Every structure is written in structure tokens, then in C-alpha cells.
Structure 1
Amino acid sequence: MTIKTATAQTGVKGTIWDVPGIDETPAFKTMAVDSAIGIIYQGLPYKQHAQSVFAYYATPGTISGNRSLDKHLPAVVLVHGGGGTAFREWALMWAKKGYAAIAMDLRGNGPERKHLENGLEETNGQTPYFDVTPDLHDQWLYQAVANVLLAHNLIRQFPEIDSNRIAITGISWGGVITCMMAGLDNRYKAAVPVYGCGYLWECGNMAKAVAGISLQNQETWIKQYDPSNYIGKAGMPVLFINGANDVHFWLTAYAHTYALVRNRYLCIKVGMKHSHHYGWANDEIFTFINHLFNNTPPLPVIKDFRITNGQVTASISNASDSVQSFLNYTTDTTSLPEKRKWESIRVSVKSNKINCPVAPAGAVVWYLSLLDGNGLQSSGPLQFLN
């Protein structure tokens, strides 16, 4: 595989990732070639040695066995979450859709989750998400973010890639990193964080983890790593996808995060489960990115949302004749957010307009959503009531 030699400018100037090598195309070697290519590329120095990072790279040509077919491809960078790895099937899923895809391992592992020589280290298989070690360069999230930056540098230099059509999407902790990337790496043309958000000290299990480190380390970690410090600089369109009952990323923190982004789109689903496979199976991700890159039909979008005298009005853009609208709400104040029972009421749509009463009395959180004829969903802004 040959690559272009140009340096790739990331946009991390002035951050803790503003270090030598971060704007360069990393050295790499090919480990195996089949429908997905296994590669090892060089990360930033780690624990006083050169770091190795494993990734799968897939294209329509790697699947067909004819790489000459790979020309001017859109691409996507795939970021796994907690307990994840470089998911070969995830990269292949995008390659079958006509994209180049790179899925790297951020835990120091290679194929079959076996630890890679000179890879990142975990203790007892536990990723140290909130570690604040004396040496910044030994901290997991510092290296994870750097390894995503370098993977992007690498893929955009492959000759078959259209560097003006590259997106990023990540699941859970990969969604956290995707939120960071949206503000740190302005070369992306689209970003889709799934589950992950900022303001992690407001999020259930995440809040417990933050509270489990010293106050000084909390301050350091939040300043260095919480996505709320970065995502407000995002210039590309960002689609936020989450479940209304997500156990790790609560809607309050989610709303605070998306409010920082000007060019935002929302997709909040009642009953959405939390896993890598459930996360990347959301067809809204591909629809959103492919519309931006290939001008295919977009997701329906709720616009001009207003509340006046107890009535909600909104308009729908990109609507099909079969689009349906729902008012989703919960009156449950006794449970943790992940256990709350939600109700959905269908509301009428006339001439791509919504006009309905606000959520019933007692609702503590509510929002409008759309469902089109292809089963794709989108949402309006979350509404919180005391």
C-alpha cells in the first residue's frame, strides 16, 4: 500500500496534544490482507518506548479482492467504546456501503484481543479512563485521543481516499472521544457520537467514577478531557444519538453537551439498548453521513420549535408523506433516569407542521420525535421541567 507524503494538519494547536509527531502520517506496516487489512501503526511515545496501535482497514476493493476499484472513496473513522477492540465487522459493514473505514484498538490489543507488544497497558483488563498519572503521556485518554488523530492522519493519506469526505463515529467511550474530536480535529466533515457526551460528572456511573478520584485529579481530568471543553468548537454537522434511558450518559448532561454545538442534529430513542452492536446498528448514522457526502435523501428534521401558551409548534424539513411525529415523555420521578418509564403519544402532522399540547401534567422530561417510512428517527430538543 502506498501513501501520500503530505503532512496532515489536525487543529490541536494550543492543546495538550500539540506535540511533535501529532500532525504527521504515522509509520505503519501491514500484518494481514484479506477482506479487511490488519495494520499496525506507530503512536506517540508511551512509557518511554515507541507505541504500537493495531487497526483494521477495509474498502469495497478489499472485500471484492480488486483494489483497483477503490477510487475517490468517502471514509469513516470508527472509535470503539469500553471493553471494545478494533472491530473487523464494523469496518466491513462500512466497506459494504461503499466507504473506506479504519477501526483502531485503543486498549493496546491486536487481533483476537491479544495484547500487542509495545501497546497500551491495562491492569486486569480494566481501561483506566479516569487515571491522572504523573506523566501526561502515560494517561489512557491522552493516548487514545492521539491514536484516533493519528489514524485519521493515516487514512486520509491513502491514495484512494477523498480527504474532503471523511467522517467520524464512535460508540459510548468512543462517543466521548468523537465529541472531543469534533472540536479538536476540524478536518472531519461529519461527526456522529453515539451515547457518549460531555459533562461526565453529571452522568450516573460516570459521575461515580469521577467522584472516585481526588479533588485535584478531578479538576485536572475535567480540564484536560471532558468533551465540554472541546465540542463547542465543532464546525462540522454533528448528529447526537442516545437512548432516553441510557445508563451511562444521562439526558441532562446530553442536553448540556449538544447545546454547545451550533450545527447539531438529534436522535433520541426510547428503549435504545447500550452496546457496540446496538450503537452502530442505527441506520441514522449512515443516512446522515451519506447525505452529506453523496447527496442521498436526508433524515427528517424538526425545525422552528416553539412553545406558546401551552402549545407546541414546529415544522418538519426533509419530510416524506409517511413521516409520523410523537411526543415522548416521562412522569417518573422515583427512579434513576435509566429506569424511568417513558410514554409516547402520536401527534398529528399536517402540511409538514406539528401543532399539539405540551406534555401532560407531571412530565419531568419530554421531547418531540419523528419516524419516517424507512424506520429512521430524529428528535427535537429535550425539555426539562423542574
Structure 2
Amino acid sequence: MWDRNVLYRTPQTTPAETYGEANVEAVYLEGPSYRGKPTKIYAYYAVSKVDGDERVPGIVLVHGGGGTAFAEWVRIWSARGYAAIAVDLEGQLPLPKTEQGRPRHDWAGPQRKGEFADYGLPLKEQWMYHAVSAVMLANSFLRSIERVDPSRIGLHGISWGGIVTGIVSGTDDRFAFAVPV
């Protein structure tokens, strides 16, 4: 269902606003098209400092329902010696929720609607397709960073992110470990 030839390539990136978060970088990763339009995936990332030619392990962090990319998670994992990336799965920006939800950016794909409420749509229009693709692209991005050991990249998700982690761990065989919570 997912085109590994595309998702295993390093995605194009565009710098993104960091919304005041220190010690992390923010980027948009190029995502799969949605209804014929290009998408971008908002992400925070950081790479732990290393000595010499040492390479660090990596972790892809997947938020739960109603969440977004969390810079704090990236800082925690980076402080522990990892390269870490936290991706947003719903085209949202890491800003506070309003009555309408979190603000979305201009290149968003589908939003999650309930529990698989979009199952009747074509696969490439479903939220889960885009969520899994976003996580696989985040893995590809981490692997492209010279100081990251691609054989030691793991995956961690909570709540809906745990469900996505379970699907991705059966879809992307490049992960060294997966921790769905």
C-alpha cells in the first residue's frame, strides 16, 4: 500500500518557524500528495552533540490524537544522546488549541476524523495513509543526517501515535525497535 521506493528516499525539506522553541530545528518534510496537491509535514528535530566521528542513535516520535510535533520530546531524547524527530500527523502547527482545534498550515493533508471515519475514501485520501507516510519520511530524513547511525533508529508513539507505531513497525523494516504506548 505504501510506496517504499518513494518513502525510503530522503524527503525535500523547507525550514519552518520554530515557535520560540530553543535547541531544536523546525522543518517541513515533503509529504505525499493529497487530492492532487502537495503536502508538507511539520517536524521538530535535534541531533545530540558527539565527539569526532561518533554516530548517535535516532528516534522518531509520534504524538497521540489531538497532539502535534512536540519540541520538548525532541529536547529530552537529544539530551539522552539521540537524534530525535517529532512529526505532526494532521497538518497542524505546534500552537495552542483554540475552539476550532490547532491551527493548520497551508500544505496540510487530511485531518483525523474519529476512529477511521474516512475508511470509505480512496486509500491515499485517508488520514492513516498520510500518518504512516509521515513517520516513514521522518525515518528517511533522520537516516540522511551524517551523524546518525541508520542501523540504530527506533520508533516511539503514544495513544493514536502508538497505533501508528504498530502499523509502521510492520511496514518500514528499517527501524531497529518500536515502542508503541
Which of 37, 53, 56 is residue 73 of structure 1 equivalent to? 56
Amino acid at match of 1:27: Q
Q: Tell me which residue corresponds to 2:142.
A: 155
What stretches of structure 1 of length at least 5 have no aligned partner? 1-15, 62-66, 195-386
Which of 67, 85, 99 is residue 102 of structure 1 equivalent to? 85
Shift of 1:20: 5.8
What stretches of structure 2 of length at least 5 have no aligned partner? 96-101
Closer, same or farther: CA 98–154 of 1 in aligned 2, 3 Å: same
Are 2:157 and 1:174 equivalent residues in the alignment?
no
Amino acid at match of 1:57: Y
Are 2:48 and 1:56 equivalent residues in the alignment?
no
Q: Distance in 2 between matches of 1:56 and 1:187?
A: 21
- Deviations along 1:14-60, one digit per CA (max 9) or x if unpaired, are xx113662222110012247401011011011121000110000222
Closer, same or farther: CA 69–174 of 1 in aligned 2, 3 Å: farther
Shift of 1:71: 4.2
Q: Distance in 1 between matches of 2:4 and 2:172?
A: 14
Normalized against structure 1, the TM-score is what? 0.42
Closer, same or farther: CA 71–121 of 1 in aligned 2, 3 Å: same
Q: Is the 8 A contact 1:59 1:70 kept in 2?
A: no
Report how many residues are paired.
171
Q: Is the 8 A contact 1:91 1:102 kept in 2?
A: yes
Q: Is the 8 A contact 2:63 2:159 kept in 1?
A: yes
Q: Distance in 1 between matches of 2:120 and 2:107?
A: 19
Q: Tell me which residue corresponds to 2:32.
A: 44
Q: Tell me which residue corresponds to 1:144.
A: 131
Q: Distance in 2 between matches of 1:179 and 1:68?
A: 34
Closer, same or farther: CA 91–40 of 1 in aligned 2, 3 Å: same
Q: Distance in 1 between matches of 2:110 and 2:173?
A: 29
The SS at the match of 2:11 is coil
The SS at the match of 2:145 is coil
Q: Distance in 1 between matches of 2:130 and 2:114?
A: 11
Shift of 1:70: 8.5
- Deviations along 1:57-85, one digit per CA (max 9) or x if unpaired, are 02224xxxxx8878401110001111111
Which of 108, 111, 118 is residue 107 of structure 2 equivalent to? 118
Are 2:5 and 1:23 equivalent residues in the alignment?
no
Task: Give identity over the alignment, percent.
Answer: 39
The SS at the match of 2:150 is strand
Asked which structure has the greater RCO (Cα within 8 Å, sep 6+), the reply is 2
Q: Is the 8 A contact 1:58 1:100 kept in 2?
A: yes
Closer, same or farther: CA 68–177 of 1 in aligned 2, 3 Å: same
The SS at the match of 2:146 is coil
Q: Tell me which residue corresponds to 1:89.
A: 72
Root-mean-square deviation (CA, aligned residues, Å) is 2.1
Are 2:152 and 1:165 equivalent residues in the alignment?
yes
- Deviations along 1:196-221, one digit per CA (max 9) or x if unpaired, are xxxxxxxxxxxxxxxxxxxxxxxxxx
- Deviations along 1:337-357, one digit per CA (max 9) or x if unpaired, are xxxxxxxxxxxxxxxxxxxxx
Q: Distance in 2 between matches of 1:185 and 1:69?
A: 30
Closer, same or farther: CA 20–135 of 1 in aligned 2, 3 Å: farther
Q: Tell me which residue corresponds to 2:99.
A: none
The SS at the match of 1:57 is strand
Amino acid at match of 1:180: I
The SS at the match of 2:34 is coil
Q: Tell me which residue corresponds to 1:35.
A: 23
Larger Rg: 1
